[in-house]
Amino acid sequence: MARIVSKECCSIAAMKPSAPHDRIPVLIDCDPGIDDALALMVAAKYTAIAGITTVAGNVPIEHTTNNALSLCELLDLRVPVHQGAAGPLGGDHVTAEHVHGDTGLGNLHLSQPTTQIRTDDAVTFLNQHFLRNPGTRLIALGPLTNVALLLRQHPQVAEYIGGITFMGGSAFGSGNVTASAEFNIFADPEAADIVFKSTVPLEMVGLNLTHQVLMGERHGALLDKTNPISSAAITLLQSYQHLIASGSGVFDVPMHDPSAVLAVSHRELFGFKSRHVMVELQGDLTRGQTVVDERRTTREANMDVAYDVDIDSAITAIQSALS
């Protein structure tokens, strides 16, 4: 088993077979989205999902919400789904149909959901849930619009939030939607700025981490095609690979959102470092870039940034959840 030790806090001890994991109670804010769908499968297996909120991101809000409802039925997740923001706090509304397909789940066509959203007011649900269940962790897998609205409309809730683990940004300032910006942050940089400047304990799982956890069709081939969840996962992996494939061929693709869920359920597989992270709001070339201060300054860190992961164990955990 790999041994990963980061030189600063939150190092990973020598890998030993991971003990059974307690199912941590979580809320999930997401924009399904192919990798969000895979992440919900991982969360369904390893966490105790108390509620799901949807946000516009990969595809418009009506699709992310419809997909969340359909995925809950596929996974037999009996949790409330609350619809959230239909667009960013500021700036242009960007989507990613070229990566996730027109309705957000690639070639996976789930039956129309029979369940309805609990409310179309994600912010009120989040606020009430945190006040009633202090210490709950939120896993944010899309643009941070709902989270920013929650903190702006209910500032006192920050002390009730156990922590936010978000998939977004990059420790090295690289991007996937532009050369310098990752999609979730680029889609709503003003929202990210509000969250980064809050007092909530934050964990960033950025592209520098998720591009270490690569999977594709070959991993799907090991799944049981007769199982409806595995069959859906196979289709999602195939779609993801082929939608991202470039002229240079088809290759394994980064498990962005599943990695963020594992950072909560399997924290022992990850190495974090405390850092001060800011987001660029202006630059023509750099709007949405996460700027991670690596200087050994006295500047107070505002989050833990994931740098290291036990790749084999992470992929094994994801595969186990998809089967």
63 included as an active-site residue = no
**In Å, how far from its chain's centre is CA 141?**
3
Rounded to a whole number of angstroms, the minimum distance from the CB of residue 258 to ligand RIB is: 10
| Interface contacts to ligand RIB, rule CB under 6 A | 31, 33, 35-36, 57-58, 141-142, 167, 176, 182-184, 256-257
Q: Return the sign of the alpha-carbon dihedral for residues 48, 54, 60, 64.
A: positive
Q: Which is nearer to ligand RIB, 66 or 184 (CB)?
A: 184
Distances 229 to 40, 45, 219, 232, 313 between C-alpha atoms, Å: 11, 12, 14, 5, 21
Residue 308's binding partner out of ligand RIB, Ca ion, none, with CB under 5 to 8 Å set by partner kind = none
- Residues 167, 161: contact at Cβ < 8 Å? no
Query: What are the tokens at 14?
Result: 């020598």
Q: Which is nearer to Ca ion, 117 or 141 (CB)?
A: 141
Residue nearest to ligand RIB (CB): 183
Residue 182's binding partner out of Ca ion, ligand RIB, none, with CB under 5 to 8 Å set by partner kind = ligand RIB
Q: Which is nearer to ligand RIB, 12 or 28 (CB)?
A: 28
User: Residues 250 to 269: which contact Ca ion by CB under 5 A?
Assistant: 257
Rounded to a whole number of angstroms, the minimum distance from the CB of residue 216 to ligand RIB is: 16
Rounded to a whole number of angstroms, the minimum distance from the CB of residue 251 to ligand RIB is: 17
Amino acid at residue number 103: T
Q: Which is nearer to Ca ion, 95 or 136 (CB)?
A: 95
Q: For Ca ion, which residue of 87, 88, 106, 142 counts as binding (CB under 5 A)?
A: 142
Q: Which is nearer to ligand RIB, 149 or 261 (CB)?
A: 261
Of the residues 21, 256, 266, 276, which is catalytic?
Answer: 256
Q: For Ca ion, which residue of 12, 26, 29, 36 counts as binding (CB under 5 A)?
A: 36
- Residues 190, 91: contact at Cβ < 8 Å? yes
Q: Exposed (0-12), middle (13-18) or buried (19+): which is 291, by Cβ within 10 Å?
A: middle
Distances 243 to 104, 177, 232, 238 between C-alpha atoms, Å: 11, 14, 16, 8
First-last CA distance in the chain: 22
Q: Give the C-alpha separation, 208 to 199, whole Å.
A: 24
- Site for Ca ion contains 141 (CB under 5 A): yes
Residue 104's binding partner out of ligand RIB, Ca ion, none, with CB under 5 to 8 Å set by partner kind = none
Residue 304's binding partner out of ligand RIB, Ca ion, none, with CB under 5 to 8 Å set by partner kind = none
Q: Exposed (0-12), middle (13-18) or buried (19+): which is 209, by Cβ within 10 Å?
A: buried
- Site for Ca ion contains 51 (CB under 5 A): no
Residue 176's binding partner out of Ca ion, ligand RIB, none, with CB under 5 to 8 Å set by partner kind = ligand RIB
Nearest C-alpha neighbor of 217 from the set 193, 243, 246, 197 = 243
Q: Catalogue the active-site residues.
A: 256
Binding site for Ca ion (CB under 5 A): 31, 33, 36, 141-142, 257
